[in-house]
Structure 1
Amino acid sequence: MLNLAITSLPQIQARAHLVADRIDLKNFKITDSLATTPLTVTIGRTDGIAVLFRYGVVVFFGVSLDDEQRFLSSLAPLLYNAYGRLQLEEIAIQSGKTNVGVQGGAVWLDALTLEKAQVIADSLSKSLVLSMYEDKTASEFDSIIPLASELARTGKVSADAKTLLSKIGGMLLIEHRMVGRAEIGDKPETLWEHPELGGLYALLEDEYELHERQAALERKLQLISGTAQTLAEIAETKHVHRLEWYVIGLIALEIVIGMADLAHRFFF
């Protein structure tokens, strides 16, 4: 892995794009690869690079907007469940500083090396994934609150068990993607070979509040799943009771028919 400054510019912009649920990196045709964990490639005719993550994020460093769009378009055959509207996270990187710092959407470094770019990319990508799931969870909250209010007000649930179980499945899927794919709570693999960059990652982690946001999101997911499961059990119980009344009705009907048949035999 290279350990040289990847650009001589005093300031560049890092831009992270969330493009899909997953990028098929196994079939990515590597031509100018700088690293494979995470996959890092050169872009265009400048010193720009792109860092790709299998959970659907691409982070560009010092790449023009035109080159970004061309590269993202070339990824189309490798995207699973591509998003129509791209989500974006940006940070300004200033080199030539004596002290490392992160604040207010900017990071100060002595020099932007490949390894530092990968650490920054990891933080940006995780923040972007969290933002998407925070939005999804907020919308689920908005849809589950009226059902809980209805239960508190009337003691009944109008939604069917299938709809509620679908919500539970959606929450479990978000948890799977956060833990299994994006590995939000894990440190970037670059730190295993370059532990000296742990301070930079800690600053970025604190700036984007990755741990706090993940913990808050997990609590919300558990609350939504628990509420939906309770409502689903109530709806299922109501359905079972209805079936029991149907069975009782059929038995009563059979008894009436039987008694009518006996009456017909004895009196007619």
Structure 2
Amino acid sequence: MNLTMIATSLCEKIRTKGIELGERTSHLPLSFRLGENQWVVVFRFGVVATVGLNEKERQDVFSELNPFMENPHAVQKSEDISIEIGEGLDEVGSEQAKIPSLSRERVLVVADILAKSVMLERYEAVMSEVFSEAEPLAERLMTGLRGKVSSKELKKTIGATLLVQQNMIGRVEVHEKPEVLWEHPELEKFFVRLEDEYEIKERNDALEKKLRLINTTAETQLGLLHNSHSLRVEWYIVILIVFEILLTLYEMFLKPHFS
């Protein structure tokens, strides 16, 4: 038997309390069995994985989840994997997983990897845009040019990187293994092979390096901007002091001669 699991990034966050789609099989992540070989796994960071559902059934599930979504994405991103069910051991191939049964624990393991992969894809797209904006800043620093960059733009760039970092650490928890592995340690090798196939660690490390680079570049430029403003204020103060001294000298020595 061949089935397809699809993970779709729907929104920034899903409130899982109150969601009822079928027979609940786990709480973290929230998962439901809808029928024979039909599953839905809901992740709080806005991703929903389905297996054994046709497109209409998937859209019906999304409609039921709509009231629980925060900040829905205008453009949804999806990733899928072909699941072959048959006798033998758990195996992982290119965009395919072979498993002996579509058990709850195997559904949760595959869904975890697919959900992380689709979220990394979203973050990679976001950071690609931010990186393209930060690149000119790095060029200015390299050439010694300051250019006209507002602190508002720099703070926006820093804010974007911090938001992605917060989501990666606080919501997605890319480095964390799914809780189901504590109950079924025999599936850890299967999980690791899936993780390697989708290059989860490598993509996450590359994204973190890019985040650090963008953040450092923006903070450096912002520091230079503040220093420039401080220097300008100091010159204003010096000019005012000199003007006040000249005015005092005028009052003391020159004004009496004109009186």
Give TM class, smaller chain.
over 0.9
Give the conservation status (yes or no) of the 8 Å contact 2:137–2:217.
Answer: no
The TM-score normalised by the length of structure 1 is 0.90
Aligned residues: 258
Q: Does the residue aligned with 1:25 lie in a helix, a strand or coil?
A: coil
Alpha-carbon shift at residue 30 of structure 1 (Å): 5.8
Q: Please show how residues 38-117 of structure 1 align to structure 2 within 5 Å.
A: 38-43=29-34, 47-117=37-107
Structure 1 equivalent of residue 159 of structure 2: 169
Correspondence for 2:231 among 229, 241, 246? 241
2:117 partner amino acid: S
Instruction: Give the 3-state SS of the residue equivalent to 1:107 in structure 2.
Output: strand
Letter in 2 for 1:15: I
- The question of 1:193 aligning with 2:183 is answered yes
2:28 is aligned with 1:37: yes
Deviation at 1:31, TM superposition (A): 4.9
Which residue in the other structure is 1:6 paired with? Answer: none
Contact 1:168 1:225 in 2 (8 A): yes
Match of 1:24 among 11, 15, 29: 15
Q: What do the CA deviations read for 1:177-225 (whole angstroms, capped 9, x no partner)? A: 1111111001111101111111210111110111111111111111111
Q: Is the 8 A contact 2:4 2:52 kept in 1?
A: yes
Which residue of structure 1 lines up, in the alignment, with residue 216 of structure 2? 226
Offset, 1:157: 4.1
Corresponding residue SS for 1:98: coil
Residue 47 of structure 1, CA deviation: 4.0
Alignment of 1:179-218 (within 5 A): 179-218=169-208
Gaps of 5+ in 2: none
- In 1: Cα distance, 2:37 partner to 2:89 partner: 24
CA deviation after TM superposition for structure 1 residue 169, in Å:
2.3
Alpha-carbon distance in structure 2 between the residues aligned to 1:260 and 1:99: 97
TM-score normalised by structure 2 residue count? 0.93
Could you say which residue in structure 2 is the equivalent of 1:14? 5
Matches of 2:144 and 2:13, distance apart in 1: 43
Deviation at 1:89, TM superposition (A): 0.5
- The AA in structure 2 aligned to 1:25 is T
Q: Is the contact between residue 161 and residue 233 of structure 1 (CA under 8 Å) also seen in structure 2?
A: no
Equivalent position amino acid for 2:237 in 1: V
Q: Does 1:139 align with 2:129?
A: yes
**Cα displacement (A) at 1:107:** 0.6
